[in-house]
Structure 1
């Protein structure tokens, strides 16, 4: 790049690439009015990857969106529209929005009152499926879509059964402008030459493919009194932030940081970065949290389960304390008590987290989030002790640790000292992205994500794997005993052991694929009602033992001696 003139050291460097709005209209919008009946209405979604065409069709009872225009999104679903109150009207205006650079497809009903995310933002796309043009015409009908309009082009006022649009691959490009302030002249002591270098990043990532390097020859420029302004024109995107790459820290590692830069989002297609130093600059796209389907139903199940589990854990604690006062010789009672107390506080905090997040916000949530994390790790720890207690019963008498309650506190104290880990967390429902559910938990930043994986997920993985192995070993030992062949005893025992060993939490790792909704509901039910299931098992086995005339059968959940675990026949 040529040197800039010395006085007054104010200049604008411009990189002109073919912008979406000049050659290609990247973002696409189709609007119309759906004429339908007054019966139950459905939305049919059938999307696969590729770039061929998209079809929007409608009849008396359903609105359908089919096609191949996405890079990552696959979805086949039927969504009931009853809660939107569309049956009370004969016509419903709607708009379908396609943002190809992020792969997001969104449907808005009733003049933007209701939002449905059909394909969630994934990552920056190098190649965009856009340039959607009118395809084959469909038939006219009594029920269908009228007043069809693609972007600003009106198509027809007739009621059509379907509209089809063909897509094409293009390269996603942008434009960059750089403003150099007079303060840079004062900071540059040895030279008046500024070099602006523009280049593309490969492969595509969350960073815009356009990057600009701004340098003064043989000088390091930092802490400018007036910031450099770098403007990025890009395709439409909702959330982004300015970042820079400091090569002095480690030239071999590309670490994009926000240090020294402020972000001004001036519209959905323009971002201005205000930075007080010279280096490499770009814009990092912030992916919004993936919306949760059926959030209302999952929240209701969880709230009910947590309330029932708190009451059940309190009852179980009373039961175990009374049993301990009778000087029972069962060594597993302290472990069961520790788990019951941890689960009680875990369910109580989770039940109240939504209320506390809405009332207290950031002033309360760091404490509540840390407490929730502690009780979760504490519950996992006691479940792990249940596993190892059962294992050691095979070889030796095991004395439960008395100070295990302090073990989960160590990582919580460290994370709290690091800061910016716990706070308000937004859970976005897929059927109403403008009304997120607030809870107190870990924040949505890089540090919190690492903390989540290195503490919660790591401990959970160890717990679930060891629990499944121990559950199999226990079942292999007890399945030949005569009294264990009774179906209700076997069910309650194995079910209770699975809860004690934490194996139900293993469903967390199966939340993907076509069965993700089923797994999510099953995991929600099993884990939120875990305290109730444990209480039920203890009481039922105690009742069965009394019915059997005081037999040792079922007197303990994991056994109190090696004989309880290994002997094929027990004597009263």
Structure 2
């Protein structure tokens, strides 16, 4: 599309040295060097439209200023090209990339000279002034025009700042834009010091334990040998007594607490089910929901780690497999638990709303152990 548009405009220009372009909301300018024997850089500004700037010293006065270096015209003239020109186009409302990046002023610029120009020593410059540098970090990016959506890259473009302005210095021709990157949220120094102090306190006593074990030389490299002779080394507690006290003993206390919590929650669920007789499902569906609920509770409380207790003797290898599989799918089980819990809550609310509209209904028990509503 860009090539077709360029050819149409160049043919319409004939012998003119410059022409303004307006197509829907796209605007731009095409220029031809007046003297091919004495090439000079080209300067432009944009306000409501593009204009050529004859005096380069006036460039700092304009909010949006652009320059095409002499080196770019020289490189283009050395290529077998029928017409030596430079075009600058502005594209507002440009399609967003897959990251939904925010563009400065929601606009993209393209510079074209009819051929691929790259690796310039004297760069193309695009300067934008009156930019709020406190709200976000503007960075210059380019895109080669390939693909359905922009694939922005900062390769070949440098960004510089000064007095509320952003300047893109690019070594090649392509589409250019300034992407606005949100600044990282800052916190006060007092909050940072408090959080650092809390973290130091938490570092969760274990530092003292690890230091004591290391000083007592109970922590060293341990080799794990397979039946094929393959050896894997890992750092671990080499003393069995220390291992049982530090690892097994600590986990046993945690496991006991979570197991008691598990029992309390099961009892709570059982009482909740008995208090809501209007929520009924088929026996098969109810049993599967109960199983998923219990599995989800086990994963949330970390009870699946309890299989580590059975990793001894003939149960060692089976316990390793069960332990690895269950804990690898811990996130999936928690998702299923959350989904089933949300579904049951929705059914309960719908059932309660339905029962509230039939205040005169009486529930009686029939001889077959089921309920009928009259």
TM-score (norm 1): 0.30
Point out the structure with the larger helix share.
2
